Amino acid sequence: MKKILFTFPLVIAITFNIAAQKSESEIALREYFIDAEFFLTQEYYVDALSDFLQVYKRGYQNNANINYRIGICYLNIPGQKDKSIPYFELAKQSVSLKYKDGNLKEKNAPIDVYLYLGNAYRVNNRLTEAIASYKQYKELLPDDENNLHKYVDKQIEACNIASDFMSTPVELEFVNMGETINSNNDDYKAVISGDGNTLLYMHRLPFYDAVYYSIKVNGQWTTPENITPQLMSDGDQYVTGVSYDGKTLLLTKEDEFNSDIFISRYDDNRWTKSQPLGSNINTKYWESHACLSKDGRKLYFASNRNGGVGEMDLYVSELTSEGIFGPAKNITELNTELNEDTPFITLDGKRLFFSSQSYINMGGYDVFVSELENNNKWSVPENMGYPISTTDDDLFYYPVKNNQVALCSRIDKSGFGGMDIYEIQFPHVADESLAELQPEETVTLVDTFDSVAKEAGVTIEEEDKTQVATLRAHYDSSKTEITKPEVEPVVTEIRTVELKPVFFGFDKSSLSEESKKELNTVLKLLTSYPVIRVEITGYTDPLGPENYNLLLSEKRAKIVYNYLVEGGINPDRLNIQGKGETGFIAVNTKTDGTDNPEGRKYNRRAEFIFIEVDNNKLIIKRIDPVPLILQIK
């Protein structure tokens, strides 16, 4: 009896201790979950992942909700997005329409897991699986969720577009800039001055992002210098642009609520404290990026301020006589209802490179280029193609000079770790040893910086404002070279001419060698029969926004028109029109409803209608190039 009385308090104590430990474990578990949810809402994905994994290890390996949350974190961490797939795949095994967000007791995942899994498949180029997952998500969506239905349709279309681009990649080479510049941490957002001697970029350190600076000496980059202290930055300023002479630096200063454009000047062998640009540029909204034209007179930047076409829009501001940038003008012909960002202008001012979530898009942000036309308007942007554009977000494509080469940051297994800075080198570019131009007027932006500094109460000593006067001319790779065909004498007897449409690559308005051969036949025909007039009609396939396709079809008709005019045909004999994604001559989808790229390629074309043809002298026979199995019934 005494033995029993002796052990009874011990049993109570042990039981109480176990209960206390269990309670402490539950408290710790809940704290990990609450912290993880907070970090997730703030988009601190690395921190959120760390806490979610603590929950996962404490008996939640098969919990669909925790797997779903871990998948979201991995999907938003560069270089680790592939790790999200197995977590999403497990989470989708238990999906509930009654999912409760932010609840540790929730055992299921929401239907959104199919959308995120589709995105994960897409950015890892598993396009067929991505389309299947998107379709599963769409089947579970309520009918009244119109915006989500449109978004999913756009993702499915992006996968089909990606398949087209990846089947015909752009010929280029990514060349790592080497261990002097790159490290085992992230190195990114690199810009080079127009004279090629100054490099600035971001370098991720353990507790902040640093601005690094290097110059070229005897053809080699010097060991980079951390200039963050000179800028008096708290690690919250990021490189966006540099002037032609490499002495004016543009940055963004970012916090959780706002981003503004700042400027710093290289003076007396150091960088000055950065200062915000004026109210014409910075607003209470988000100004994410800026760059300068070669002469320093124009500032191109991105902002989500009120009054835009969409969300993040592209703007341009011109330098005033007072040395400040004037009111910003929206570049309306380039902006869409979605986001446009990171604009960079070439030295010749003729091409603007930027990233967009719209147009003909592989998914996320893609890189586009637009050309300045004779009417001072920007042309319909064209996707730079794979692998410059990918199925993931592609931002901050920096054209060097007139895009002879370019800079980008990417994660590659052969790199030094994290994001590395690469040169994009294109084969067959023009030789750099070209004739020099005459001296031209340039602006160093000293006056601009002085105005900003004076407003901020900072004194800047006057420096030499002279700049290199001679520049090199560069070959304009966009110019089409016409070889006039040998023209036959005017024909009097009846003859038959066989013609077929001119075809274009996906999202392209440039002429292939095969297309030029066909157009040379048209040139011979129009030269031999001076009374004939012709209507040129451009078409596209159905992928991409309808308005964009209409503009692209007009651009295709226009380049055919230009080729014929440059070949000697009177413009009065030619009419052009674009009909966008109409007038299909081949099927765009297979019988099971999936995409049919083999059929779509025949719909990307320009066709001819000949007017005032004397059938007693000439018979124009149209050749249908579409295989019978692909023809529209």
Instruction: Write out 249-292 in H/E/C secondary structure.
Output: EEEEEECCCCEEEEEEEEECCEECCCEECCCCCCCCCEEEEEEE
Same fold, 26-167 and 495-630: no
Cβ atoms of 613 and 532 within 8 Å: the answer is yes
pLDDT greater than 90 at residue 620: no
Residue 385 has pLDDT above 50, yes or no: yes
Could you tell me the pLDDT band of residue 435, with boundaries at 50, 70 and 90? Answer: very low
Average pLDDT over residues 485-490: 51
Residue 5 pLDDT = 42
- CATH classification of 495-630 is 3.40.50.10890, yes or no? no
Q: Between β-strands 398-400 and 382-383, what pairing exists: parallel, antiparallel or unpaired?
A: unpaired
Q: Is the pLDDT of residue 304 over 50?
A: yes
In the chain, % of residues over pLDDT 70: 86
Q: What is the pLDDT of residues 73-87, one digit of tens each?
A: 999 999 999 999 999
- Read off φ and ψ for residue 54, nearest 5 degrees: -65, -40
User: Residue range 202-221: average pLDDT?
Assistant: 95
Fold of the CATH domain 173-429+444-456: Neuraminidase (2.120.10)
Res 289 pLDDT > 80: yes
Give per-residue pLDDT as tens, 522-535.
999 899 888 999 99
**Would you kindly state where each structural domain of the chain is located, as residue ranges?**
26-167, 173-429+444-456, 495-630
Write out the H or E segment, with its range, that includes residue 409: strand 405-411
Q: How far apart are CA 86 and CA 575, in angstroms?
A: 56
Cis peptide before 489 (omega within 30 of 0): no
The overall average pLDDT reported for the chain is 87
Give the pLDDT confidence score for residue 495 in this predicted structure. 82
Structure-derived torsion over alpha carbons of residues 216, 221, 226, 232, reported in degrees to the nearest 10 = 20
How do residues 310-332 score in pLDDT, each as one tens digit?
Answer: 999 999 999 998 889 999 999 99
pLDDT digits (tens, 9 = 90+) for 155-198: 999 999 999 999 999 999 999 999 999 999 999 999 999 999 99
Please report which confidence band the pLDDT of residue 430 belongs to, taking 50, 70 and 90 as the band edges: low
Q: State the pairing for strand pair 574-578/533-538.
A: parallel
Higher pLDDT, 492 or 126: 126
Beta-bridge partner residues of 325:
319
- The tokens for 69 are 């949350």
Beta-ladder partners of 275: 263
Q: Tell me, what's the pLDDT at 606?
A: 95
For residue 608, give the nearest of 595, 627, 592, 621 by alpha carbon: 621
Residue-level pLDDT at 441: 45
Pairwise CA distance, residues 398 & 422, whole Å? 11
Span 560-609, pLDDT tens digits:
999 999 999 999 999 999 999 999 999 999 888 889 999 999 999 999 99
> Any idea what DSSP says for residue 466?
-
Q: What is the DSSP string of 180-195?
A: TT--SS-EEEEEE-TT
Q: What is the pTM of this model?
A: 0.82
Helix (H, G, I), strand (E, B) or coil at 484: coil
Amino acid identity at 77: I
What distances in angstroms separate CA 236 from CA 205, 251, 283, 292, 623, one per listed residue? 12, 10, 18, 21, 62
26-167: what CATH class?
A: mainly alpha
Instruction: Look up residue 142 and give its amino acid.
Output: P
Residue 559: CB atoms within 10 Å: 21
pLDDT average, residue stretch 537-541? 96
Confidence band of 472 (pLDDT split at 50, 70, 90): very low
Provide DSSP, 556-574.
HHHHHHHHHHHTT--GGGE
**CA dist., res. 95 & res. 107, Å (int):** 9
Question: Are the CB atoms for 579 and 408 separated by under 8 Å?
Answer: no
The two beta strands, 329-330 and 313-318, are antiparallel
